[in-house]
Chains A and B, each alone.
Chain A
Amino acid sequence: MVDLSAPTSAPLATAPSRTEAGPSGRKPRRSISRANIFLYGTLIVFALYYLLPLYVMIVTSLKGMPEIRMGNIFSPPMEITFEPWAKAWSTACTGLNCDGLSRGFWNSVQILIPSVVLSIAVASVNGYALANWRFKGADTFFTILIFGAFIPYQVMLYPIVILLREMGLYGSLTGLVLVHTVFGMPILTLLFRNYFTSMPEELFKAARVDGAGFWGIYFKIMLPMSLPIFVVAIILQVTGIWNDFLFGVIYTRPDLYPMTVQLNNIVNSVQGVKEYNVNMAATILTGLVPLTIYFISGKLFVRGIAAGAVKG
C-alpha cells in the first residue's frame, strides 16, 4: 500500500535539530556477529541433543517393525501406524500378563491420587505448625526430617518392609501410599514451612486476637492464601510419584505394579521378539503424564523444583 497523502501531523514549532554529523542514535549491530553465531549455535546444538530422544521416541512409535529393521532411527516414518500405541496400551506382554500398560496406568492413578492428597495434607499442616505454632523440640525433629531427605533410601527400605508387614499393608496400594507420604514429607514440609513463614506474621496475630484457633486459622486464612504453593506442591508430587520406580517395585505386588514398573517389564522382558515400536509407544505413554504437567505448568514447575531443590 502506498500512502499518497501528506504527512498528517507535522510537529508544531520543531526546534532545530542540535545533532551533529557522526555517530547518532542506536549503535548499529550486525545481528549475525561472531558472538551471536556462537551463542545461538551452542544453544541450538544443545537443544538438538535434548530434543533428539523425544523425536526418536515419537518417530519410532509410529513406524511398523519392518520399516524399523530396514531404515534408520532418525528418518521419519514412511507409513504412519498407530498399531504400536494400541498394542502398548492394551496387549503388550510383561512376562506375567498380556494386558499392556493400561493396568499399570490405572494402578498409578490409584497410587497417585491418595498419595498426593495425603502427603500434601500432612505436610501443609505440619509446615503450618512449624511456621506459626512453634513448640519446644519442633526444630530438632524438623532438622532430622530434612537430613532424612539426604539419607539413601536403601538404608530404610527393609525396615519399612517390616513396618508395613506388621501393619498388614505390605504389598498393598495403601502401604505404597504411606511410603510416598513419608518420603515426600521432608521436601513438602520445608516448602510449606518456608511459605507460611514468609507470610506476614501480623495476619496470624490478628486472627489469633480475633479468637481463631489452630484449625480455624489454617482453613480460613492460610489455606485460601497459599494456593500457589499448593499448586507447586502438587506438581512436585505428581511428577515425583508418577516417576517412582523403586518403591513401586518393592512395596507392591506384580498385579499392582505402577506404570513405570510395568513399562520396564514390558520393554526389558526377555521373552519373545523385541518390538521396538511398541516399546517406544509405551515409553511415551508413561512419560505423557509428567510431560503434560510440565508443559502446562511452565514457570510453576521451575519454581517448584527450584524451591524444592535450592532449599533442600
Chain B
Amino acid sequence: MTSVSIKDLSLNFGEVKVLKTLNLDIGDGEFLVLLGPSGCGKSTLLNCIAGLLDVSEGQIFIKGRNVTWEEPKDRGIGMVFQSYALYPQMTVEGNLAFGLKNARVPKDEIDRRIARAAEVLQIEPLLKRKPAQLSGGQRQRVAIGRALVRDVDVFLFDEPLSNLDAKLRAELRVEIKRLHHRLKNTMIYVTHDQIEALTLADRIAIMRNGIIQQLASPHEIYNKPVNLYVAGFMGSPGMNFLEGAFAPQGASELSFGVTRVPLERYPFVSDERPGKVIFGIRPEHVTCGPAAESEPFNTEVEIEVVEPMGADTLVWAILDGREFRFRVDGQSQLREGDRVRIGFDPAKASIFDAATELRL
C-alpha cells in the first residue's frame, strides 16, 4: 500500500523549472530519504508534499486521498524543520499544544498526546521550559514532538540535523531511526548528508536539477549507481574514475593506458558498447598487499601520499599515470614511495558510457 504518491509533479518559479515531472511512490511505513546537493529541489519537493508550496502541474496523494489542493493542516502530515521553528515565547508544552488547541482537540486528549510524545522523546523534564533554555538537540526533539502530537501518518523532515554539531547529529540520527522502528510511520527525510541517508533510509532518492536520478535501497545506490553523477555523489572519499575503452576483440576486457582489466565477472546491465567508457571502482573495494594476488585483477602501484584517518588509511597512488585512491586498514605501515600490489574484483566496479554517463 502506498502512503504518499506523487504523480507527474512539476513546479516552476516563473521561467525556472524547479521540479520536472516527478513520479514517486512511497510505501506505508517506509523511510524515504531525498538526497542531493543544495538547489537540487529536494526541499522544494518536500514543501510541495507538505502543501507549503503550490505545485504547477501534477498530483499528490496521501493515503490514497488526493491532497493536491489541500491546506497543510488537512493533509495528515507533521513536519520538522532545520531551524526547529519553535515558537520562542511559548513553553515546550505550549509549543506542542498550540496546533492542537487551535484545532479544538479536547483538553484531556491534548494532555494524553503530549504525555506520550514527551515519553517517546524523553523530554518530560523540559515541558515547562522555553526553547531559549534548551540545547540544540533538545530543541530538535521538541520540534519532532510537535509533529508527533499531530498523530499523523506521514512525517516530513527538512534537514533536521544540519544545525547540530557532528556528535549530536550522530546521536539524534540513531534516535530518529529508533523512533521510526517504534512508530512505523511513513517518513520522508531531506538531507544533503549521505551518511544520514545511508544509515536511515529504506530507500534513497538522489536528486539533481529537479529530477530523481536514482531511487533505490542504500545498498543498491552505493554498489550499483545508475549513472556517473550518482556514483560520484555517493561515497567519501569518492569513487576512482578511470577513462578507458573496451578491448577491440569484444567487451571482455577494458583497457586504459597499458593496463587491462578483465570483465568476465562484470554484470552488464546494458548491451551498448560505446567507444569511450569510464571505469569506476570504490577505494574500499581495492585490496592491497599479498591478498591482492587472488583478485581477478591486480597490479603494482607506487604510493604518492598516505593519509591516516584513524580507523582506516587512505592511500593516494599512481596507477598507469593516473591518480588512484584506495583504502587500507588504519594499522597499515605503508609509506610514501613504497611500491605495493593492489587488486580488485571487477564485479564490484561500475562502468559508465563516457558520452551518456549511464551505467553499462
Contact = CB atoms under 8 A, between A and B. Distances in A.
A and B touch in the complex (CB under 8 A): yes
A8 interface: no
Which interface residue of A18, A20, A27 has the most chain B CB atoms within 10 A?
Answer: A18
Interface in B41-70: 54-59, 66, 68-69
B23 interface: yes
B7 interface: yes
B55 A26 contact: yes
Nearest to A25: B57
B8 interface: yes
Interface of A: 17-20, 22-28
A26 B54 contact: yes
Contacts of B54: 26-27
A20 B59 contact: yes
A20 B69 contact: no
A-B CB proximity, top 9 nearest = A18-B7, A23-B68, A23-B69, A22-B66, A27-B69, A25-B57, A19-B7, A24-B59, A19-B59
14 contacts: A18-B23, A19-B8, A20-B7, A22-B59, A23-B59, A23-B66, A24-B57, A24-B59, A25-B55, A25-B56, A25-B57, A26-B56, A26-B57, A27-B54
A24 B54 CA distance: 11
Given A18-B23, A19-B58, A22-B59, A27 B8 contact: no
Contacts of B68: 22-25, 27
Contacts of B55: 25-26
Nearest to B56: A26
A22 B68 CA distance: 9
A232 to B, nearest CB: 30
A156 B55 CA distance: 62
Nearest to A29: B54
Interface residues on B, range: 10 to 19
B66 A25 contact: no
Contacts of A28: 69
Nearest to B5: A18
B69 A18 contact: no
Nearest to A17: B8
Contacts of A19: 7-8, 58-59
B26 to A, nearest CB: 14
Nearest to A16: B8
A25 B68 CA distance: 7
Contacts of B8: 17-19
Given A26-B54, A27-B69, 19 more contacts: A18-B7, A18-B8, A19-B7, A19-B8, A19-B58, A20-B7, A20-B66, A22-B66, A23-B59, A23-B66, A23-B68, A24-B57, A24-B58, A24-B59, A25-B55, A25-B56, A26-B57, A27-B68, A28-B69
Nearest to B57: A25
Interface string B1-32: 00000011000000000000001000000000
Contacts of A27: 54, 68-69
A18 B10 CA distance: 13
Contacts of B23: 18
B127 to A, nearest CB: 36
Contacts of A18: 7-8, 23
A26 B119 CA distance: 40
A114 to B, nearest CB: 48
A26 B48 CA distance: 11
A248 to B, nearest CB: 47
A28 B23 CA distance: 22
B185 to A, nearest CB: 25
A26 B58 CA distance: 8
B332 to A, nearest CB: 39
Contacts of B66: 20, 22-23
A22 B70 CA distance: 12
